[in-house]
Structure 1
């Protein structure tokens, strides 16, 4: 089975480059307004709503452009917001989303519980709980929450969530149907939700080993938002697997200048090494290693798995990879976490057998 063409149903949205510029402007404008808010006014509903809006926009930009610094800034603002408005459901929801972004799922779940006691919307809480449950591999529980939401209102968001969940469960035919259905239900003008949906569809086909379908959907996300870092990074991975080292390098170099996520530096090191540029590859490998060590210290729940994969591949340190894979397994008992741990064990065994 292969993925349907992105041209099957192509909604019209705002130009992606303009949308990113507008996102920057929204973030800057909200930051200025909030900086002018006095301490005594910080608990006013408008100020809380604006603070929560800024947090969500920072997390969105962090995802789109691969900026860990945006996630960290959002997390700091979320802590401040809850400190000034500890019983406000909007503030607690914003902090829950920010914590979930950095994979602090237990803390995020606690915030959702507190938000519920503060009168936050049940449907919104359930949507956030479903995200956490899915990330933890509790697919049946996540499915129950999303299906209940779909029964209340079958819209782009719920259909897209169902599609991504079915993709995670490797129910490919059903996921494809839902991806198409979600696209048909899209009524917005922002390119971001569609780019994210197309990216997740590409991830599904990438995981299934259909590189042509994966490439098609990554390209669709890239056309929608030209600077969309995850789509560009995964597209580079596909090009590398297909032997297109030059194309992979061309995709990755700009990302290493705009993103502080070491994944792109690591992939660039792999692409350069494969093309025979060993010394330059070594420089990027060292840069990625240093950054992964920083992120694992600060945000182990979010980056232990990526760092483990790095050390098992480009990093070339099976012992460190196994250590991080085991650490990741303590955070999430998912099929992917177990698979990563098994990879690490096999890699360490190969090293031990090769030793004199």
Structure 2
């Protein structure tokens, strides 16, 4: 199995390092402007956010926070975006822009039923139909409803760029294991990219890498992750998945090199958990224990606050680094209640097998 290079068509974009700096600046600037109008204060939001401009600025800030959360692995950004979205809708409950922004934050945290309800309300509030269909497709895809998701992507095609449509279809085909068609669409999306931001292309390369990673072609996956990393040097998902490849190949020192700075700057416990695994493998047992405990505490915190988004990741942690099959099974069952996807069922079966192995090994 061989994946195509993600550099068949290599558009020129802004430096990833500069783009991240600009992203910080945009977020800070919008936050200041909103705070000056009182939009950041719960009491004043009812009046200040009522203005269309304030809602638009708030929605823009939410999208930027979600982007930074993804790029840098910052759960706190997702939570800040969700808090701001609740404020916007509280102040403008019938505004389509505010409802659409909240739907995106809820989908990011895997609160899919609530996100779908917000999209329905946003439709009544005048939100763009193509945008709504694209967002609904994302939710359906996450729930494993691929056929329905594809239909909505095609319905949204008229109001979307070809880059956006081809990229969405590529990811959908990738998740269905249809790698030949996915490769064609990934290339098509790159060919039609006309922007200067490096983030959409880095995300595209990462998704392509994730496809080959799932298919077991680690060389192709590495090539795509490295392309995303070159595009945005601090891109957390690509760095984390590169580290996973190093772990799977026994290159533990290389994994430590990738993960140590990431675990220090990201509040996503997945990186701390993988760092603990790599450190243990190279004999740094005490340091590994510290990172394992940090990951365990953080997973407990996130599962308590956002169970839909983190039950599956936490289950995987307890089935591996955490070494608690009972806890892993409990979380896998919880995750299966949220979504009946093939991946959720596979996690549940894995947890059952782990618990059985522990039971059989018991004296």
Q: Is the 8 A contact 2:129 2:156 kept in 1?
A: no
The partner residue of 2:276 within 248, 269, 273 is: 269
Is 1:58 matched with 2:65? yes
Q: Is the 8 A contact 1:312 1:344 kept in 2?
A: yes
Partner of 1:119: 126
Q: Is the 8 A contact 1:150 1:159 kept in 2?
A: no
Change (3 A) 1:151 1:37: closer
Is 1:179 matched with 2:186? yes
SS at match of 2:246: helix
Is 1:315 matched with 2:311? no
The partner residue of 1:258 within 265, 274, 278 is: 265
Q: Offset at 1:24?
A: 0.2
Q: Is the 8 A contact 1:164 1:201 kept in 2?
A: yes
- In 2: Cα distance, 1:42 partner to 1:334 partner: 39
Question: For residues 145-156 of structure 1, what are the structure 2 equivalents within 5 Å?
Answer: 145-150=152-157, 155-156=162-163
Partner of 1:94: 101
The partner residue of 1:345 within 331, 344, 352 is: 352
Is 1:15 matched with 2:22? no
- Residues 117-171 of structure 1 show CA distances to partners (whole Å, capped at 9, x for unaligned) of 1111110000000000000000010011112233665610010000000001111
Q: Offset at 1:256?
A: 1.1
Is 1:291 matched with 2:292? no
**Where do 5+ consecutive residues of structure 2 fail to align?**
39-43
Q: Is the 8 A contact 1:163 1:175 kept in 2?
A: yes
The partner residue of 2:136 within 104, 124, 129 is: 129
Is 1:242 matched with 2:249? yes
Partner of 2:334: 327
- In 2: Cα distance, 1:301 partner to 1:153 partner: 29
Partner of 2:41: none
RMSD: 1.0
- In 1: Cα distance, 2:174 partner to 2:129 partner: 26
Q: Is the 8 A contact 2:130 2:158 kept in 1?
A: no
TM-score normalised by structure 1 residue count: 0.98
- Residues 193-234 of structure 1 show CA distances to partners (whole Å, capped at 9, x for unaligned) of 000010010000001011100000000000000000010000
- Residues 173-208 of structure 1 show CA distances to partners (whole Å, capped at 9, x for unaligned) of 100110011000100000000000100100000010
Q: Moved runs in structure 1, 4+ residues, more than 4 A?
A: 151-154
- In 2: Cα distance, 1:243 partner to 1:9 partner: 33
Is 1:159 matched with 2:181? no
SS at match of 2:53: helix
- Residues 69-98 of structure 1 show CA distances to partners (whole Å, capped at 9, x for unaligned) of 000000000000000011100000000000
More displaced stretch, 135-144 vs 235-244: 235-244
- In 1: Cα distance, 2:248 partner to 2:222 partner: 11
Q: Offset at 1:31?
A: 0.2
Is 1:5 matched with 2:12? no
TM-score normalised by structure 2 residue count: 0.97
- In 2: Cα distance, 1:149 partner to 1:178 partner: 16
Partner of 1:75: 82
